[in-house]
Amino acid sequence: MKKRVVVTGMGAITPIGNSVEAFWEGVCQEKIGFDRITYFDTADYKCKLAAEVKDFNAADYMDKKAARRMEAFCQFAVAAAKEAIEDAKLDMEKEDPFRAGCAIGSGIGSLQAMEREHTRLEQKGPGKVGPLLVPLMISNMATGNVSIAFNLKGKSINVVTACATGTNSIGEAFRTIQYGDADIMVAGGTESSITPIGIAGFSALTALSASEDPTRCSIPFDKDRSGFVMGEGAAVVVLEELEHAKARGARIYAEVVGYGCSSDAFHITSPAEDGSGAAAAMTNAVKDAGAALTDITYINAHGTATHHNDLFETRAIKLAFGSHAKDIKINSTKSMVGHLLGAAGAIEFITCVKELECGFIHKTIGLMESEEELDLNYCKESYQEDITYALSNSLGFGGHNASILLKKFA
């Protein structure tokens, strides 16, 4: 018999706040995290804006020596994990460390380390490349560093499915507990790719918005949308087997009840045009939960603000839910924090937990008018409304589709 899995802790480093409380306050206040890129000179770049993390000091979360051996994506992950574990009031000295695992994914790892050491290679030769380049750069080091920091000796994995990474990481952690392989999983996503090669690469794909107006640069489902805005940060949750959580008197935020995946098997960057892949992920998640499609009244969409994604995701929702799609409220958190790539699904998962907890569905910021085929309710306004289920979608380059379903705990 599958075990029940609940959320008992949350942590976040985001462009609109460096804690879950600050992030959620920003969401409720309709705050946007977009501004001019400060990490490098964008004079020769089409893209000028990003959603950078502000006022982050790694030494506030870990000792300086440890921080020096981590790139930003790992620092963000450790910081978010620290908040999540403290929020869950987990005392690892009282837990079996081999029953506590970690699944924190990063879609890219450290472009900063690669850029820095490539410059050194070109200028000074191969003998001068830093000995820590590889362990600083590779994407599994977020999970590795968090496991080391918090003595998590159970299942330790790094999922890399591009923009679906965060959702897949939490989903695989959910499955791990469901099938009895762990009692606790620290799970989520992290990313820090606002770098010269990162921005240049996504710009060359024509995926990034070239807008210089922070209020109109990331406008999912709007007819004037022109691409996504890159964000950065990390979001981490503590998932726990229900009876284990009850036994230690843990506060339970929500229950994870369904997880569905699929592949478009279509194109390396474009979603399937008919939405069939994303539709399968959504219906798989709902079926996994034993829920009815009509039980779903809210979806946190992938909603990147690229022309293709928002159109094809709309088609997917219609394909999955049929006429009921018109009754579903759909929003995009990326309208505030941009696209956190491998961390996107994780911060949107936390958004869903907070929306269930507070009975509040945030508006899609910047959305003014959609084109004819985009005729669903994309939340031009926020709603004060109790919801039972929250479905979160993530769709990644390569055709990776992942949906995860949360339910208000009762």
* Rg (alpha carbons) of the chain, rounded to whole number: 20
For residue 184 the two structure tokens come to 């606790």
Q: Which secondary-structure segment (H or E) carries 156?
A: strand 156-157
Which of 339, 352, 379, 400 is flagged as catalytic? 339
- 302 labelled catalytic: yes
For residue 127 the two structure tokens come to 């003998």
Q: Which amino acid is at 375?
A: D
DSSP code per residue over 340-403: -GGGHHHHHHHHHHHHHHHTEE---TT-----TT--SB--SS-EE---SEEEEEEEETTTEEEE
The three-state secondary structure class of 290 is coil
- 339 labelled catalytic: yes
Cα–Cα dist 130/102, whole Å: 28
Which of 102, 244, 302, 400 is flagged as catalytic? 302
For residue 328 the two structure tokens come to 């579903």
- Site of tokens 């208000």: 408
Tell me the longest C-alpha to C-alpha distance in the chain. Answer: 63
How do strand 360-361 and strand 383-384 relate by DSSP bridges?
antiparallel
- Site of tokens 């507070």: 358
Cα–Cα dist 355/384, whole Å: 9
Cα–Cα dist 410/408, whole Å: 6
Closest CA to 397 of 111, 227, 162, 158: 162
Which of 47, 74, 102, 163 is flagged as catalytic? 163
- Site of tokens 């088609």: 315
Q: HSE on the CB side for 109, CA within 13 Å?
A: 16
Catalytic site positions? 163, 302, 339
